[in-house]
C-alpha cells in the first residue's frame, strides 16, 4: 500500500494466514499471457463439453483480447497523487464507474468483433453486425449499463463482446499504472470491502487457490473486469465476511484411474449460510490448467444447482450475463447476480 501515515489493523484470520510468511496482497495480470491462457483453457474445456460451440467462440474472443491488449495504445493514467489519495481513502483509483473511459476502448471493441466475426457461429453474426452498426453514444450507454450493473436497457446478446473490450481496456490500465509506478511496491492500496477489486472496485468472477510461488495454498479473488487478483483468507465469505458457516459444494468428482480414489473437483461453490451467497473457488493445485473465468463458464451447472438450493451468486462473469440483479438494500446490483 502506498505510504500514507495510516495504520491498518488486520483481522485475526489474516494474521493467522500470514503467520507462515509474507503473503503478497496482489497478483497482477501478465500482459503477454492473461487472455491467451484463458483462450487455451477454453479450447481444452470445449473438447468434451455440452456448451462446446460457445466455449470455442469465447476462446476466439479471448485470443483476440490478447492480441489487442498487446498493442493497446497509451491512454491517461492516474498520477502518483491520485494513487495516494485513493489509498488513503480506501477507494479504487481506476473505478469502473468513475474513471473517465478513453475513446480507445471503442476502437478495441470494433477491432475485436471484426476479428472474431470471421470464425463466429452463424447465429452470432447478426449480433456482431448489430453491434458494428452502433454509434459511439450507443456503445457508451451499453458500457455504462455493464459497469454500473444496470440491467434495464442492456443488450444481453452483445454485452459479452462489449465487456470483452472493457476487460482489455481496464487490464491495460492496471498493468500500465503498475509499470509506471515509481514507489517500489504496488501502485494500489486496499479497500475496506475485501470482496471488491482494489484497482477498479468490481466484483470477482471466482476465487483461485494458488499452488506455488510466493503464496502456496493461498486464496486470491479474480477481478471480473481488470484481471487483477487480490488475496483473501480462505473459508471467509466474500459477500458478508462471515467465517462461521462456510461449506463447499461441487459437481461429481472426476474418476481416477485404477484403484486410486476419486479426484477432488477443481471447481467448488463456496457457500455461506449466514448471508445465502456463494462464490466459486478454482483449485489450481488440483488442475494446473484451470483458469477462473474459463472454468467458471464451463461449470454453469454448478450455478444452477446452487440457485435451486436458494443461494445467490456473488461473483459475476461478464462473458455470460443472465438473471436479475439483486434488489436494492443488499449489495449494489451487478450484471450476472441472481
pLDDT computed for residue 338 by the predictor:
31
pLDDT computed for residue 259 by the predictor:
55
| Secondary structure string (H, E, C) spanning 64-125 | HHHHHHHCCCCCCCCCHHHHHHHHHHCCCCCCCCCCCCCCHHHHHHHHHHHHHHCCCCHHHH
* Domain regions of the chain by residue span: 34-180
pLDDT computed for residue 50 by the predictor:
96
Q: 34-180 — its CATH code?
A: 3.90.1670.10
pLDDT computed for residue 335 by the predictor:
36
pLDDT computed for residue 152 by the predictor:
87
Q: What is the DSSP letter of 153?
A: T
Contact by Cβ (8 Å): 208, 229: yes
Cell numbers linked to 254: 472426476
pLDDT computed for residue 212 by the predictor:
63
pLDDT computed for residue 185 by the predictor:
80
Contact by Cβ (8 Å): 138, 77: no
Q: What is the DSSP letter of 255?
A: P
Contact by Cβ (8 Å): 262, 281: no
C-alpha span between 163 and 331 (Å, rounded): 21
Cell numbers linked to 21: 510468511
Residues of the chain predicted below pLDDT 70 = 1-21, 183-184, 212-215, 252-262, 322-338
Amino acid at each position: 500500500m502506498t505510504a500514507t501515515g495510516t495504520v491498518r489493523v488486520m483481522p485475526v484470520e489474516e494474521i493467522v494466514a500470514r503467520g507462515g510468511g509474507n503473503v503478497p496482497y496482489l497478483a497482477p495480470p501478465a500482459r503477454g499471457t492473461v487472455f491467451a491462457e484463458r483462450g487455451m483453457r477454453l479450447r481444452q474445456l470445449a473438447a468434451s463439453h455440452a456448451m462446446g460451440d460457445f466455449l470455442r467462440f469465447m476462446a476466439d474472443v479471448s485470443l483476440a483480447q490478447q492480441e489487442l491488449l498487446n498493442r493497446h495504445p497509451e491512454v491517461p493514467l492516474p498520477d502518483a497523487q491520485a494513487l495516494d489519495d485513493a489509498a488513503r481513502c480506501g477507494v479504487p483509483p481506476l473505478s469502473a464507474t468513475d474513471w473517465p473511459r478513453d475513446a480507445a476502448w471503442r476502437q478495441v471493441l470494433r477491432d475485436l468483433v471484426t476479428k472474431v466475426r470471421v470464425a463466429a457461429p452463424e447465429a452470432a453474426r447478426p449480433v456482431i453486425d448489430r453491434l458494428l452498426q452502433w454509434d459511439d453514444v450507443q456503445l457508451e450507454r451499453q458500457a455504462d449499463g455493464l459497469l454500473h450493473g444496470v440491467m434495464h436497457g442492456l443488450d444481453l446478446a452483445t454485452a459479452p463482446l462489449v465487456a470483452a473490450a472493457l476487460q482489455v481496456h481496464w487490464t491495460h490500465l492496471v498493468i500500465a499504472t503498475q509499470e509506471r509506478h515509481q514507489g517500489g511496491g504496488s501502485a494500489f492500496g486496499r479497500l475496506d470491502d475485501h470482496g471488491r477489486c482494489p484497482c477498479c472496485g468490481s466484483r470477482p468472477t471466482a476465487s483461485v487457490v494458488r499452488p506455488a510461488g510466493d503464496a502456496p495454498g493461498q486464496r486470491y479473488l479474480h477481478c471480473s473486469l481488470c484481471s487483477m487478483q487480490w488475496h483473501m483468507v480462505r473459508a471467509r465469505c466474500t459477500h458478508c465476511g462471515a467465517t462461521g458457516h462456510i461449506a463447499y459444494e461441487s459437481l461429481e468428482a472426476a474418476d481416477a484411474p485404477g484403484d486410486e480414489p476419486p479426484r477432488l473437483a477443481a471447481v467448488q461453490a463456496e457457500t455461506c449460510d449466514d448471508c445465502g451467497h456463494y462464490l466459486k473457488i478454482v483449485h489450481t493445485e488440483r488442475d494446473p490448467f484451470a483458469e477462473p473465468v474459463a472454468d467458471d463458464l464451463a461449470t454453469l451447472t454448478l450455478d444452477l444447482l446452487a440457485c435451486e438450493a436458494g443461494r445467490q451468486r456473488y461473483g459475476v462473469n461478464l462473458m455470460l450475463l443472465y438473471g436479475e440483479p439483486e434488489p436494492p438494500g443488499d449489495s449494489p446490483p451487478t450484471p450476472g447476480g441472481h
